[in-house]
Amino acid sequence: MHLLEIGAIRNKPAAGLYLALTRRCPLSCAHCSTDSSSTSEQHPETPFRRLVESFDHETRPDLLLMSGGEALLRPALVADLARTARSVGSRSYVLSGMWFARENRRLPAPVSAAIREVDHFAASLDEFHEREVGRADVFRAMHRIRELVPQVSFQLTGRGDDDPYLQGLVDDVRREFDDHVPILVGTLSPIGRGRQLGGLTPTPTSGVPVAPVDPCDRITWPLVTYDGTVYACCNQDLVERRVPEHLILGHASHQSWPELREKFLQRELYRALRVLGPSFVASRFSDGPCDKGMCGNCVALSGDAEAERQVTEYLRSDSGRQVEAAARRMVEQVDGTAFSERRSGRYGGLVSLGWEADREQSCTR
């Protein structure tokens, strides 16, 4: 599954499901958004296995995305989940910090076996990762991995469009892989251990103008976090630090994917947050201030039963249905490149690298 295809379904509710398989990671990156370490907690595999085993052909997500910490510290779990998902038509993706590539090591057999089972492998690389695993080592490992998996990509992170390190890294990846490997570019944020770094711009939390409609794509694909709790929001830093009650969708240990998906798609509050945005909902239906930014406004709705009652009443009205339908059409028009451009600025077009070559190869199979 090419990165451009993933972007094309990114705004489709429940088309993807994130699994944070472990908080453990053998790297010690200074910017780690999940504050992971080699001694971080690791919960039983059972909830993840149980949830994926509950997928069926009618309701399964199009894509299962596995990360951590470092997901490939549990290679047998990654492989098993990928196989189980594939049996009902879901494809799989795993993101890795490339710990196994250090000092030009051979790929560990369990890691190779896991990578062979997934449909897309993404390597994370930035100035902090590179202090742990050298760029040349990552490149060598990626050449090997391209022989094991149908699609690969790089997830590169920098300090913004004008970051010379990021520009040099992008240039090196494009040159090394002859523009055949797509790249998703992100911006370093002061979350997790990144809060201790200087010079990073936090997401505004106050004084933010309220847009009439400002859809939130964080509530488009649910997240199963380390202990099996399922959140309607995939902003891992937010849900773990704040644990907003209204965003807890359920738990993988005792609820099936069809059950969770139904609630995720049908609950009026989630629908409103998804297509109208937290700021619109807060300004229209809550008595509190609505100047905390998108995530802050959303958190402030937790436990506000009256706001949710009003949201439900509104979306069931004729005018509410019309507004929701119009907003949904607007969201659905965002294709893979447009989605990336919103997140990656001038680097947004890099998600399409290798797309034409991949299409030509697919046609000759």
Q: pLDDT tens across 194-214, in order?
A: 888 866 665 544 444 445 678
Tell me: do 339 and 321 sit in the same domain. Answer: no
Tell me the per-residue pLDDT of 153-205, one tens digit each, with 9 for 90 and over: 999 999 988 999 999 999 999 999 999 999 999 998 888 888 888 666 655 44
Tell me: do 82 and 193 sit in the same domain. Answer: yes
Tell me: do 351 and 312 sit in the same domain. Answer: no
Tell me: do 131 and 114 sit in the same domain. Answer: yes
Q: Quick one: which of 141, 176, 169, 143 has its CA closest to 155?
A: 169
Tell me: do 253 and 156 sit in the same domain. Answer: no
Taking residues 15-22, report their average pLDDT.
97
Tell me the per-residue pLDDT of 45-96, one tens digit each, with 9 for 90 and over: 999 999 999 999 999 999 999 999 999 999 999 999 999 999 999 999 999 9
Q: Quick one: which of 129, 21, 34 has its CA closest to 65?
A: 21
Structural domain including 301 reads: 236-332
Q: pLDDT band at 291, cuts 50/70/90?
A: confident
Q: Omega before 69 cis (within 30°)?
A: yes
Tell me: do 198 and 262 sit in the same domain. Answer: no
Tell me the per-residue pLDDT of 237-261, one tens digit each, with 9 for 90 and over: 899 889 999 999 999 999 999 999 9
Whether 314 is in a domain gets the answer: yes
Whether 216 is in a domain gets the answer: no
152, 145 in Cβ contact below 8 A?
Answer: yes
Round the average pLDDT of the chain to a whole number and report it.
Answer: 90
Tell me: do 91 and 144 sit in the same domain. Answer: yes
Whether 215 is in a domain gets the answer: no
Whether 40 is in a domain gets the answer: yes
Name, in order, each residue with C-beta under 8 angstroms of 203's C-beta and a sequence gap of 6 or more: 189, 293, 294, 295
The tokens describing 326, both together, are 């119009």
Whether 302 is in a domain gets the answer: yes
Interstrand relation of 151-158 and 91-96 (parallel, antiparallel or unpaired): unpaired
Confidence (pLDDT) at 364? 45
Q: Quick one: which of 168, 77, 162 has its CA closest to 130?
A: 168
Confidence (pLDDT) at 290? 74
Tell me the per-residue pLDDT of 264-285, one tens digit each, with 9 for 90 and over: 999 999 999 998 999 889 999 9
**pTM greater than 0.85 (yes/no):** yes
Taking residues 126-134, report their average pLDDT.
94
**How many domains, the chain?**
2
Confidence (pLDDT) at 208? 47
Confidence (pLDDT) at 79? 98
Confidence check: pLDDT of 139 > 80: yes
Confidence check: pLDDT of 126 > 90: yes
Confidence (pLDDT) at 335? 67
Give the Cα separation of 311 and 301 in Å (integer): 11
Tell me: do 69 and 143 sit in the same domain. Answer: yes
The tokens describing 188, both together, are 């370093």
Whether 90 is in a domain gets the answer: yes
* CATH number of the domain residue 13 falls in: 3.20.20.70
Q: At residue 235, what is the residue type?
A: N
Tell me: do 179 and 282 sit in the same domain. Answer: no
Tell me: do 129 and 37 sit in the same domain. Answer: yes
Tell me: do 71 and 90 sit in the same domain. Answer: yes
Whether 221 is in a domain gets the answer: no
Tell me: do 181 and 264 sit in the same domain. Answer: no
Return the minimum-mean-pLDDT range out of 46-55, 122-131, 292-301: 292-301
Whether 227 is in a domain gets the answer: no
Confidence (pLDDT) at 332? 72
